[in-house]
Amino acid sequence: MGCCHQSCFWYQVSRRLRIKVKSPSSQDEKTREEIIAAREAKKISKLGKKQKSTLAAPSTEPGPAPASLTGTTIITEVEQTTITTKLTRTTTTSGCKKNVVEKQGAVAPTPIATVKSLPGIPGDESGVSEKSRDQIKAEREAKKAAKQAAKANKSTEKITQQLGEVTLDGANSVPGKATVKATSLATAPTEQKKPVTKAERRAVQEAQRAAKAQAQVQGKSSQSQGISLNASKSKLNTTSTPPRETELSPSKASSPSKSPQAIGNNTPKSEGRVKLFNHLLTADKDASLFINDAQVHPSIARLGVQYAQRTVVGSNARCIAFLHALRQVVNDFETPAKKEFGRSLDAAVKHHVDHLHKCRPLAVSVFNAYKQFKNQLTQLPTDKPETELKELLGHFIDTYIENQIGKAAQAISSFLQEKITDGDVLLTFGCSSLIHFICEEAKRRLVNFRVIVIDSRPNCEGQEMLRRLHVHGIPCSYVLINAVGYVMPEATKVLLGAHALLANGYVMARTGTAQVALVAHAHNVPVLVCCETHKFSERFQTDAIVYNELSDPNQLVRNEKCCLNNWQTNSRLTPLNLNYDITPPELVSAVVTEVAILPCTSVPVILRIKPDIGY
Amino acid sequence: MPQITKKSDEFDVSRYFLHLLDEDKDLSSGIAAIKTLLWILEKKQFGTIHILDTTMREAVAAMRQTDLSIAAIVSAGELFCRFITLSLDDKHMEECRQIMLNRGKIFLTKLLNSRQVIAQQAQRFISDGCRILTHSRSRVVLKALIAASKNKKSFHVYVTQGGTGNSGEEMVEDLQSAGIDCTLILDSATGYVMESVDFVMVGAEAVVESGGIINRIGSYTMGLCAREMKKPFYVLAESFKFSRLYPLNQRDLPNEYKYSRKHLNDVAKVHPLVDYTPPAYITLLFTDLGILTPSAVSDELIKLYM
Amino acid sequence: MKEQPLKEVTQLIHAIKVGMVEGSYSITNKTLDIFKYIIMSKSWENADALMQIVRAQCRILQAALPQETVTANIARRILKLIREEFDLLHAKVQHFADDSQASLSLHKLVTQTSETNICVDYSLPQKGLREALLDHLQEVETELETSSENVCVQAEEHIHSSEIILTLGHSRSVENFLKRAIKKRQFLTIIVAECAPACRGHNLAASLANEKKVELIVIPDAAIFAMMSRVNKVIIGTHSVLANGGLRAACGAYTVGLAAKHYSVPVIVLAPMYKLSPLHLCEQDAFNMVGCAEDVIDYDSLAAREAKVYSPMFDYVPPELVTLFISNNGGHAPSYVYRLLTELYHPEDLEI
């Protein structure tokens, strides 16, 4: 699999790594487990935000509550395979990790099933990790059975399950609804699996659609949940396991209520749009419109919600999450009769990717991974049995994660370790997993340096970076981006992460990166952008307006007393929350990739020699 | 007869001029020029202002014949001549002469004090622990740095060699004897050193109307480097060095300024002694008239000459 | 310090520190009142004594509030006033058309006619000085009151229709200026950078949103560079203007200036004359001050445990980044600031 020159290339990279990096090879074995652990940890920390634990499920593990409660809502890039162990430790307590280690011998699907079913228990932080293997297996079997039944009957059962899982996640991650949801779903585990007739289900759906129509804004969510609560009591579930006992009602009710805030720059009124960005505003996206989609795999649906809710942020994290979900899709995929595996899977995956794109415009890393996967599909041998093909694809996904993200991070870090010397003052912006990894390595090598973290509203991702660096004992300073001119004279180097590298040499990164590079250039401080090659894109762009992503303008409103509080009522006032901006190549001294340290203008060269990357 | 007197006058002029400079090493050639002109004013008798003017100009021409920094001589001479012919009422010649002598003496006193004033102004900009880059040897800069070190400030100075001759070494010696840390560097190492210094401080042989300066060869490169590395470029110059010249580029600078007299015939083979630094590369000028931006220089000159 | 502060001065310092009096305009007004009170009081006999008192109080104010240069500026204006009135009444020195003894210049060097210094002896008693001073002070007061209006009046000259204007934070001059522009021009789009952590840009946006026919966009500070490519003009206020034409402005103004320079967008700074200060950047040990770091990151957050957090209040903007100053006297280039300073203040008063 894969082109031979790719393997040559990796050989070179790994050879370099062998010389430079001392990380134990045993880490590779654990990578999959670590990935899962990390995902678990992410879910746990997300759940950990919920204060109530109303379920009866016993918990012997000390929940990850303390760590995850203090953790931020944004779970930034967690998954880098070789660094996953360390990251897992920082984001969760040891409890979860132990749990994962227990399952070491488990077959791949099982841990994933664990991961998937975790959010099924709402409001229960500690009980999450308590799943026994049998329970998981039972859940999985039931799910599979249900899926089969669904496919056979073409009933809405699967929808139920999907919705349950999906919107349960959504329910969990919507802030401020903890109490209501917890109580409403408290009834979930106690309900038994009962056959649901189509008519009943349809009635329930009608009720929910009525509820959804009412739920326009946040404030009305509780009301709709009240309605849904009543509806749910009468609802019957086919699933056998507690997590699967989802109510359509809370799910559906919650989805419309969270859709206004989850999806893009979507305001109830049509004013409050910035004309400059009209091309970026899509039609009002209502999550429930497509969340009902029968053909979307639950893991993809959940991922979509995670993307939309900003639970999973960061280029690498999104890519890894996508690939895990994709692997699950592949494993659960059943070729329809008289169709070829490769082509039908291709169509199915395309459908899933479209779904994700609707939830949140695809990250460049995700898009590239998808392209690679598609490429892989076309090269599948046709004579092998399906299980073997699935294994091949699974293996490809694992290799992709391992090489493009894990090993690339190591290579980049080894390049940079030569540049970081004693007495250095590194300046960084926002939170980048790669930069964190590099700093960690440098600290391990006992280099005496300190870091200045620049942060910006409204997301304040820099606080997460600060927290992580603090764990390693790296002395840090912290300022907001307007004070970057104040701290820049002290800095000796600027290290920036990137979302993508465009083909004309421009760097696409979080809003504010270009400003930091600008001030650094004015002070003659070298700017290093660290970017793995899987983030290279063939797009050309010269400014940040022609293509960008707009996120929720309400994030700019600070609190109730803020002057912008009722900006929707004023047609002239619009807050604007841009996600990305473009840094011109003259402001960047060097781009560090796993291939080499390049000048910013050499991106097309890499695209040329590595034709299979960067779409 | 007049010719002979002229010759002897000329001879006297340049000899007196050189004699003044020999006596006091620390004297600027511009001030020496003014002293010479004052001496002529005292010694000679003039019938009319016109003759006085002509004599002055001839004396300046004679001084230019000596091979010393012509820019300062020219500007000082210009200034002196200007002030002589300025707002003189229709008084008797003798009265005029007395007035002019008086003025001249005041003028001279003020100018002699100018270096002190400039050094005083520059103190605020020299902070503890700063690193200064300077070009070759400038007495004004030397005075400013010594004053700063007397104020108990500790700093480090990088001195460039300044081309041919050992002016750089002389500067280093003077600084070391005053107890200041310094390093002698090659002229070509200016770019290398620039990122580690805090600011650049140079003297000037003349300040031209555009606000730029004429200084020892290598100053232009230093100005270019400083601007590129975003370091301030400060010029310390006395006010009598303000000249009415307006060079557009290096070539536009008159040859007499750039080459010594004996090489004027064969300029293609010789390297110039001075170069022109445009005002865009200069941050501030420290003069006895105050701390000026380059655009203020033109203002001063306009006020004087118009 | 040997000088004793007057009661009013102490009260003013207290009021400023506590935040009861804020904004350059109010501080200037109050300081002017103090000096007016001093002039009206009986405690001085001649010009010299008066100048001593003024200088002493000014030194106290400067020591207490090193960043508030408007107090020193007003003091310098008053000192110049005293000199002028004294000379006028004395009619001793023949003055030249423009500067008189105001500034050193080559011209002056060359044209001195007498050997004695021009230094006027201010310790001679002079009748009618008090009245003359109070009269002139009235003019200064009027100028101060109308400074805001005079700045706004120029809005029409600098803004055309359908412009996209960027501004930072909340400056009263900018607010009035933009309000005037909105009234007179169509289809303006104003992008306000919120200027964290105080986010005073929100106040400006809310205030401007009451006007008709304007589109307001509020952006976080991080998006300044991203939006700059579309901006036609940048209009900012400043805390004070330095002698070389540079600014001491709200933190974030340096980034705005750099981004504007990158995209060749003109930067217009609204600065009434009382903000012009003859100090240079280096001379101020206390150029910048840091504010409360609580707004930047919570004290009790896990992330902030061992980190050093800064929240500086001011930024230095070098004169190369500024295109135009608009003051109550009209528009000036940054390279002309030195001239304005010579007209406003006497060279001997530069060091109080």
What the block records as the tokens of A531 is 């970017």
Q: pLDDT value at position A197?
A: 61
The dihedral region occupied by A394, where left means phi > 0, alpha psi between -120 and 50, and beta the remainder, is: alpha
Among the ranges A55-59, A224-228, A304-308, C264-268, which has the highest mean pLDDT value? C264-268
Q: pLDDT value at position C161?
A: 87
Q: Which of C149, C175, C196 is the last residue of a domain?
A: C149
User: What is the band of C209 on the pLDDT scale with cuts at 50, 70, 90?
Assistant: confident
User: In this complex, which of A482, A518, A522 lies closest to C252 when CB atoms are compared?
Assistant: A482
Which residues in chain A touch residue C254, judged by CB atoms under 8 angstroms apart? 485, 519
Beta-carbon count within 10 A of A332 CB: 16
- Considering the domain architecture, whether residues C62 and C137 belong to the same structural domain is answered as yes
β-strands A493-497, A476-480: how paired?
Answer: unpaired
Q: pLDDT value at position A62?
A: 38
Residue of B nearest to A524 (CA): B229
Is there a contact between A523 and B195 if contact means CB atoms under 8 Å apart?
no
- Considering the domain architecture, whether residues C70 and C203 belong to the same structural domain is answered as no
More confident residue, B112 or A518: A518
Whether the CB of B301 is below 8 Å from some CB of chain C: the reply is: yes
Decide if pLDDT at A157 tops 90: no
In contact, A529 and C210? CB cutoff 8 Å: no
The nearest CA of chain C is from the CA of A468 a distance in Å of: 8
Is there a contact between C205 and A519 if contact means CB atoms under 8 Å apart?
no
User: What is the band of C262 on the pLDDT scale with cuts at 50, 70, 90?
Assistant: very high
Q: Which of C95, C125, C149 is the last residue of a domain?
A: C149
- Considering the domain architecture, whether residues C162 and C274 belong to the same structural domain is answered as yes
pLDDT tens across C90-100, in order? 765 444 433 44
Is there a contact between C105 and B304 if contact means CB atoms under 8 Å apart?
yes
The nearest CA of chain B is from the CA of C108 a distance in Å of: 8
Beta-carbon count within 10 A of C27 CB: 22
State the pTM of this model.
0.75
User: In this complex, which of A480, A485, A563 lies closest to C296 when CB atoms are compared?
Assistant: A480
Q: How far apart are CA A508 and CA A165, in angstroms?
A: 34
In contact, A349 and A438? CB cutoff 8 Å: no
- Considering the domain architecture, whether residues C127 and C96 belong to the same structural domain is answered as yes
Which residues in chain C touch residue A476, judged by CB atoms under 8 angstroms apart? 306-308
User: What mean pLDDT, rounded, does chain A reach?
Assistant: 68
Q: How far apart are CA C69 and CA C83, in angstroms?
A: 21
The nearest CA of chain C is from the CA of B98 a distance in Å of: 11
Decide if pLDDT at C115 tops 80: no
Is there a contact between C110 and B107 if contact means CB atoms under 8 Å apart?
yes
Beta-carbon count within 10 A of A54 CB: 18
Max Cα distance, chain A (Å):
72
CATH code for the domain of C321: 3.40.50.10470
Whether the CB of B230 is below 8 Å from some CB of chain C: the reply is: no
Is there a contact between C282 and B125 if contact means CB atoms under 8 Å apart?
yes
Residue of A nearest to B231 (CA): A523
Asked if residue C317 is part of any domain, the answer here is yes
- Considering the domain architecture, whether residues C215 and C315 belong to the same structural domain is answered as yes
Q: pLDDT value at position A98?
A: 39
- Considering the domain architecture, whether residues C112 and C199 belong to the same structural domain is answered as no
Asked if residue C187 is part of any domain, the answer here is yes
Asked if residue C1 is part of any domain, the answer here is no
Is there a contact between C112 and B239 if contact means CB atoms under 8 Å apart?
no
- Considering the domain architecture, whether residues C166 and C286 belong to the same structural domain is answered as yes
Which residues in chain C touch residue A483, judged by CB atoms under 8 angstroms apart? 251-252, 310-312
Q: Which of residues 518-557 of A touch C (CB under 8 A)?
A: 518-519, 522, 543-545, 548, 556
- Considering the domain architecture, whether residues C82 and C25 belong to the same structural domain is answered as yes
Instruction: Name the nearest CA neighbour of A54 among A207, A186, A179.
Output: A186
Residues A419-433, mean pLDDT to the nearest whole number: 92
Asked if residue C80 is part of any domain, the answer here is yes
Q: Taking the mean position of all CA atoms in its chain, how far away is CA A387?
A: 28
User: In this complex, which of B102, B107, B293 lies closest to C109 when CB atoms are compared?
Assistant: B107
Q: pLDDT value at position A153?
A: 54
Question: Which of A267-276, A336-345, A559-568, C326-335 shows the lowest per-residue confidence on average (mean pLDDT)?
Answer: A267-276
In angstroms, what CA-CA distances link A460 with A72, A103, A453, C310?
10, 36, 11, 15
Residues 6+ apart with CB under 8 A from A552: A261, A264, A265, A577
CATH code for the domain of C23: 1.20.120.420
Question: Which of A334-338, A575-579, C15-19 shows the lowest per-residue confidence on average (mean pLDDT)?
Answer: A334-338
- Considering the domain architecture, whether residues C132 and C204 belong to the same structural domain is answered as no
More confident residue, C304 or B140: B140
Asked if residue C280 is part of any domain, the answer here is yes
pLDDT tens across A528-568, in order? 999 998 898 888 888 888 888 888 888 888 877 777 777 88
DSSP E strands: which ranges in chain B? 131-134, 156-160, 181-185, 199-203, 206-207, 213-216, 233-236, 274-277, 284-287, 290-292
More confident residue, C67 or A442: A442
Number of domains in chain C: 2
Question: Which of A160-174, B2-16, C269-283 shows the lowest per-residue confidence on average (mean pLDDT)?
Answer: A160-174
The nearest CA of chain A is from the CA of C22 a distance in Å of: 20
Q: pLDDT value at position A103?
A: 37
Is there a contact between A522 and B229 if contact means CB atoms under 8 Å apart?
no
Which residues in chain A touch residue B195, judged by CB atoms under 8 angstroms apart? 524
Q: Which chains touch C (3 or more CB pairs under 8 A)?
A: A, B
Beta bridge partners of C188: C214
Q: Which of C122, C149, C176 is the last residue of a domain?
A: C149
Test the B interface: residue of A488, A519, A523, A524 with most B CBs within 10 Å? A524
Test the A interface: residue of C167, C202, C229, C288 with most A CBs within 10 Å? C202
Task: Point out the residues of chain B with pLDDT beneath 70.
Answer: 1-11, 68, 84-91, 306
The domain of C188 spans: 154-349
For chain B, domains (ranges, CATH) are 13-114 (1.20.120.420), 118-305 (3.40.50.10470)
Asked if residue C2 is part of any domain, the answer here is no
- Considering the domain architecture, whether residues C11 and C46 belong to the same structural domain is answered as yes
Q: How far apart are CA C300 and CA C304, in angstroms?
A: 7
Is there a contact between A486 and C259 if contact means CB atoms under 8 Å apart?
no
For chain A, domains (ranges, CATH) are 38-215 (no CATH), 419-612 (3.40.50.10470)
- Considering the domain architecture, whether residues C141 and C222 belong to the same structural domain is answered as no
Share of chain A above pLDDT 90, in %: 21
- Considering the domain architecture, whether residues C63 and C207 belong to the same structural domain is answered as no
Decide if pLDDT at C3 tops 80: no
What the block records as the tokens of C264 is 């060749």
